Structure 1
Amino acid sequence: MAGRNRNAQDETIATIATLAAGAAVGYGCYKVFKSIFSSEDTQQNRPISSSQSQPSRSSSFGSMLQSAAVAYHSAQNSDNLSIQPNDDDDYETHPQLVPFQRNSPYSFPKESKIYVVNTIEECRYAMRELKSHCDLYNVLGFDCEWVNKSQWEGGRQKVALLQFATHRGLCVVIRLCKLRYIPSELKNILMDRNIIKVGISPSNDAQYLCQDYFEWGDARDHIAGTLDLRYVANVAKCYDGNISLAKMANRYLNVILDKDISVRCSDWDASNLDNAQIQYAAKDAIIAIELFKHFAEIIEPTSLFGSNLSRLETILRKFSTLFDQEYDEDWEYK
């Protein structure tokens, strides 16, 4: 925005200078014309009373130059020119930005941040940025949150939150309970089988999303490309049992995930989420993508000569038969 303000200032200054120069040329032509075609006698025979006297042209021109100088000075010293936002500014569509609390010696991406999405417009904005990250690394951390019903009622309420996290540390927390519908930008991400969504039991989360927000078909008709992290850990020879995301994070990343039941079982449908809820939800998705990156480095170490995309393709080919599958504890990589 600061760059656009400076451009606007430069355009204002240039316009004022052009007008002043044009006025000066015009006034000079007027004086030449008057000296040729007018005579002093004519002027003397045209009496004008003081009450009918006209404003001096030279005075008007001086005033114009003075106004131009004032405008120039204002433009030079103004840091906040009023500029009407255009479509490219997305002035009122930015999601709520929440700093990511690391609370760990683990080296999370420097750009780590959280978007909390409450509206359709905010969702569209966030999905555009998310997609730009996926163009460089097509794997996302993936998770959902919902409210469990009481022990007497049993079951659960609709999925309230959907979380995505990119390799660059962007986490988008989408409050599905606040959206009127699922916008096409989000549907495209969910349905794109070339964007891999990793987590613990992601196919179950996909099934819940389908039940709650799509009127027909099963999860595979609307959500594609899920991959259970336990398969990735198995291929990296880092898997020794059916363990949780929190245990994986502690064992392989030295990160302690706070699974405080007061937050885990809190009201995810609340009018406003508090910071503890936001951080809890975001970390599950961020840890998922960081674990994938950790296991991927073991499976196919980064090379100084190969591209990241080709390396990632090589890794993902190992799981081509496991996408959108529930986890099988008896599966072994051969």
Structure 2
Amino acid sequence: MSQKNKHVLTGIICATIGFGIAVVMRKYRGYVFRKLRKLNPNNNANKADILIVNTVHECERVANDILRRCSDYRVLGFDCEWVTKNDKRQPIALMQLAANEDYCALIRLCSMKIVQVRTSSVTSGNCFFSLRGVYEKLLEDASIIKVGVAPSDDAKYLQHDYGFTVRGCLDLRHLTQTRGGFKWHGQTLSRKLSEHQVQYSSQDSLVAVKIFNEIIRPWWQLWGLPKWSKVLQGCQKYIDIKYKSNQNKQRINRIIPQHPNKNATRAYSTRQRPLYDNCLLQAPDGEVLSTCDHNKAQWYVAKNLGQIVETNPLTVRLTFEPSGRAVGEVGKYYTMEKENRCVVCGETKSYIRKNVIPHEYRKYFPSVMKDHMSHDILLLCRNCHLRNNSFDLALRYQLAEECNAPIGSREDAKMFEVPDLKKVRSAARALLSKDVAKIPMERVEELEKIVRSHFDLGEDETISMDMLREANDLIVSEINENYEPHGRRVVSHYIQNGGLMLLEQLWREHFLKSMNPQYLPRLWSVTHNHSRLTQRIEQGRILPEEIRVAGLLQ
């Protein structure tokens, strides 16, 4: 058999094994998972070292131990637990980290004096972030794959509650392609973990590693140990991508019409045509001013502001002197041809526009900083776009804390409901409904009590129909007079504390660090706007107030 045929046969065998695992997991996922959860004493999971970590000092030792164990085989079982009170999720109480199938640390965040990210006062001595250096290596390293079911959700809550950034999350359902996924049951976390809770909690992360190992075992047979880079490459398209079941996709597709690219909903629809046409605009003397799209070039011609001097590439020479010309590297950036591909991975088939500085902040920038700024519009493929959005959320929460600009709280809402009034309205509507006779008498009395309390009626006083109608029409929402959008608060904070160029540079550096783009346009720079505005100052083309807001006061 030729070498080529051997490779083809090996590929077919691996594909068949992978498909077989997916089918088994899909059909018998409940049975398989129950068996894995009820591991017998001879299995590795019950032999695993299970450590209960209650102090910050223990955390540091355990983190270093996990890093050592993940030095070669870079997979980590990852899961978090929390409780819910009054339908509100409480901060994460327990973080589970399993290295391979024989070591699990149950980190009891609830037992440590950890200052949550959302609070205004932070005492560094008691803060878990005194260990930030150690846990950055462990949790932020995307090459250490954190496996589990819905690990991205746990990572999001961990970021929200304590400020941890977790990268490299892999939902096992991506690999098994099951519809319902695995059934992971929650539990109540008491002050002291019982022996049963210790065993139960550890299994979530240990079993996650075991399932991952079973799925990729054919990969080892193909590549041999320790080809971890091959495994990482094979999983890369699912890293930090939230899993959506087919059922959820069907529900979404009923609401949002499908794009011709059936793998993308409207929110992540890929472009129908290239972003960069790379047409050229010239000054009257023939100097290249910038590249532009085809429509813009034709607009100048249609308005008699320019003439076509070349068709390939389409080149339009202006008939008037522009207000400014390309100067230095800043100007040269706008004259260079741009490639239509993902700046992170190089994908050329489909891509989405990415605003490096999110619109929710840039829309409050002065015109001189936000107009004609193609520098911060890049192309990402759908998978890279999804990954980047999850990283952006972490920075938004960081800015929310730094700038006192809450996200998703009552203070961040234009309108908020008044629970007591909503309760009265619901009671009145129930009493006015045509099915009121079907409501149990005890419940009717409870509803009447709510309405009486609202109108200050005694127990013997009758509730009139006019009262019920009035309660039925109650407006249960109030305008939040203190409302100010998160984005505007952040922008205002930076205007008063160093200028908006610091905010711009923060987002650009965040993009470079989190995504490690390999195909950025030449001359793309974190300090692009600083050089651009400095030129405008020298040319007298910027107002003093714009200089102050940008942070260029000399």
Name the TM tier (shorter chain).
0.5 to 0.7
Task: Report the CA distance shift for 1:198/1:103 in structure 2 as closer, same or farther (over 3 A).
Answer: closer
The separation in 1 between residues aligned to 2:216 and 2:235, in whole angstroms, is: 12
1:3-60 alpha-carbon deviations (Å, 9 max, x no partner): xxxxxxxxxxxxxxxxxxxxxxxxxxxxxxxxxxxxxxxxxxxxxxxxxxxxxxxxxx
Match of 1:77 in 2: none
Answering whether residue 162 of structure 2 is matched by residue 265 of structure 1, we say no
Match of 2:181 in 1: 243
Task: Report the CA distance shift for 1:103/1:296 in structure 2 as closer, same or farther (over 3 A).
Answer: closer
Deviation at 1:307, TM superposition (A): 4.6
Of the three residues 192, 203, 212, the one matched with 1:292 is 212
Deviation at 1:242, TM superposition (A): 2.0
Answering whether residue 160 of structure 2 is matched by residue 232 of structure 1, we say no
Of the three residues 54, 62, 67, the one matched with 1:131 is 67
Counterpart mapping for 1:161-310 below 5 A? 161-180=94-113, 181-182=127-128, 183-184=131-132, 185-214=134-163, 222-234=165-177, 239=178, 241-245=179-183, 259=185, 264-266=186-188, 268=189, 270-298=190-218, 300-302=219-221, 307-310=224-227
Match of 2:478 in 1: none
Q: Please report the TM-score for the alignment, with normalisation by the length of structure 1.
A: 0.54
Task: Report the CA distance shift for 1:104/1:111 in structure 2 as closer, same or farther (over 3 A).
Answer: closer
The separation in 2 between residues aligned to 1:307 and 1:276, in whole angstroms, is: 38
Letter in 2 for 1:119: T
Report if the CA contact (8 A) 2:39-2:45 is conserved: no
Answering whether residue 83 of structure 2 is matched by residue 147 of structure 1, we say yes
The separation in 1 between residues aligned to 2:46 and 2:40, in whole angstroms, is: 13
Deviation at 1:308, TM superposition (A): 2.2
Letter in 2 for 1:313: S
Report the 3-state secondary structure (helix = DSSP H, G, I; strand = E; otherwise coil) of the residue aligned with 1:232: helix
Of the three residues 45, 51, 57, the one matched with 1:121 is 57
The separation in 1 between residues aligned to 2:38 and 2:137, in whole angstroms, is: 30
The separation in 1 between residues aligned to 2:245 and 2:180, in whole angstroms, is: 7
The separation in 2 between residues aligned to 1:168 and 1:205, in whole angstroms, is: 21
The separation in 1 between residues aligned to 2:71 and 2:77, in whole angstroms, is: 15
Report if the CA contact (8 A) 1:113-1:169 is conserved: yes
The separation in 2 between residues aligned to 1:285 and 1:323, in whole angstroms, is: 17
The separation in 1 between residues aligned to 2:239 and 2:196, in whole angstroms, is: 32
Deviation at 1:320, TM superposition (A): 1.3
Task: Report the CA distance shift for 1:225/1:205 in structure 2 as closer, same or farther (over 3 A).
Answer: same
Report the 3-state secondary structure (helix = DSSP H, G, I; strand = E; otherwise coil) of the residue aligned with 1:135: coil
Letter in 1 for 2:69: H
Task: Report the CA distance shift for 1:279/1:192 in structure 2 as closer, same or farther (over 3 A).
Answer: same
Letter in 1 for 2:175: V
Task: Report the CA distance shift for 1:315/1:107 in structure 2 as closer, same or farther (over 3 A).
Answer: same
The separation in 2 between residues aligned to 1:127 and 1:102, in whole angstroms, is: 28
The separation in 2 between residues aligned to 1:169 and 1:230, in whole angstroms, is: 23
The separation in 2 between residues aligned to 1:168 and 1:103, in whole angstroms, is: 12
Letter in 2 for 1:293: N
Deviation at 1:110, TM superposition (A): 8.2
The separation in 2 between residues aligned to 1:242 and 1:297, in whole angstroms, is: 23
The separation in 2 between residues aligned to 1:233 and 1:316, in whole angstroms, is: 16
The separation in 2 between residues aligned to 1:302 and 1:109, in whole angstroms, is: 23
Task: Report the CA distance shift for 1:294/1:105 in structure 2 as closer, same or farther (over 3 A).
Answer: farther
Report if the CA contact (8 A) 1:145-1:159 is conserved: yes
The separation in 1 between residues aligned to 2:38 and 2:225, in whole angstroms, is: 26
Counterpart mapping for 1:30-49 below 5 A? none
Deviation at 1:173, TM superposition (A): 0.5
Report if the CA contact (8 A) 2:79-2:204 is conserved: yes
Report the 3-state secondary structure (helix = DSSP H, G, I; strand = E; otherwise coil) of the residue aligned with 1:163: strand
Task: Report the CA distance shift for 1:130/1:277 in structure 2 as closer, same or farther (over 3 A).
Answer: same
The separation in 2 between residues aligned to 1:117 and 1:287, in whole angstroms, is: 20
Match of 1:57 in 2: none
Cα RMSD (Å): 2.5
Match of 1:318 in 2: 234
Match of 2:471 in 1: none
1:93-143 alpha-carbon deviations (Å, 9 max, x no partner): xxxxxxxx9742773268611011001111111111111110021001110
The separation in 2 between residues aligned to 1:243 and 1:111, in whole angstroms, is: 26
Match of 2:341 in 1: none
The separation in 2 between residues aligned to 1:102 and 1:133, in whole angstroms, is: 25
The separation in 1 between residues aligned to 2:102 and 2:175, in whole angstroms, is: 20
The separation in 1 between residues aligned to 2:42 and 2:229, in whole angstroms, is: 26
Deviation at 1:233, TM superposition (A): 1.7
Deviation at 1:281, TM superposition (A): 0.8
Deviation at 1:223, TM superposition (A): 1.1
1:144-187 alpha-carbon deviations (Å, 9 max, x no partner): 000111xxx21211000000111141001001112333222234
Deviation at 1:314, TM superposition (A): 1.5
Task: Report the CA distance shift for 1:168/1:280 in structure 2 as closer, same or farther (over 3 A).
Answer: closer
